[in-house]
């Protein structure tokens, strides 16, 4: 399997198997697959950054932390919007 596909499968499997299914078991109902959607976006970011050899090592610690917080927050906010849209 090509590396990008393997990365996406890994991220999505983690979202589904380690987050969505346990949430469903704890709530005893099937919810929208929010973690799978969020992890798919995390994986897409990882694949794109890997493809373009993104390297933030020369950035300051605060700049790297800010970039990561913005990235994670935007993925989670997008996931929330998608889950709300799916729930309609």
C-alpha atoms less than 13 angstroms from C-alpha of 82 in its C-beta half-sphere: 15
Rounded CA gap, 57 and 64, in Å? 8
C-alpha atoms less than 13 angstroms from C-alpha of 3 in its C-beta half-sphere: 6
Please give the C-alpha separations between residue 35 and each of 20, 49, 60, in angstroms, as whole numbers: 6, 21, 30
Domain boundaries, the chain: 3-87
Predicted structure pTM score: 0.88
pLDDT tens, position by position, for the chain (88 residues)?
A: 999 999 999 999 999 999 999 999 999 999 899 999 999 999 999 999 999 999 999 999 999 999 999 999 999 999 999 999 988 8
């Amino acid at each position: 399997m090509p590396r990008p596909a393997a990365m996406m499968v890994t991220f999505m499997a983690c979202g589904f198997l380690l987050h969505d299914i346990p949430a469903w078991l704890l709530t005893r109902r099937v919810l929208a697959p929010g973690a799978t959607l969020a992890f798919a976006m995390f994986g897409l970011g990882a694949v794109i950054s890997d493809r373009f050899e993104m390297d933030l090592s020369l950035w300051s610690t605060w700049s790297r932390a800010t970039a990561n917080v913005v990235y994670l927050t935007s993925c989670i906010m997008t996931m929330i919007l998608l889950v709300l849209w799916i729930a309609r």
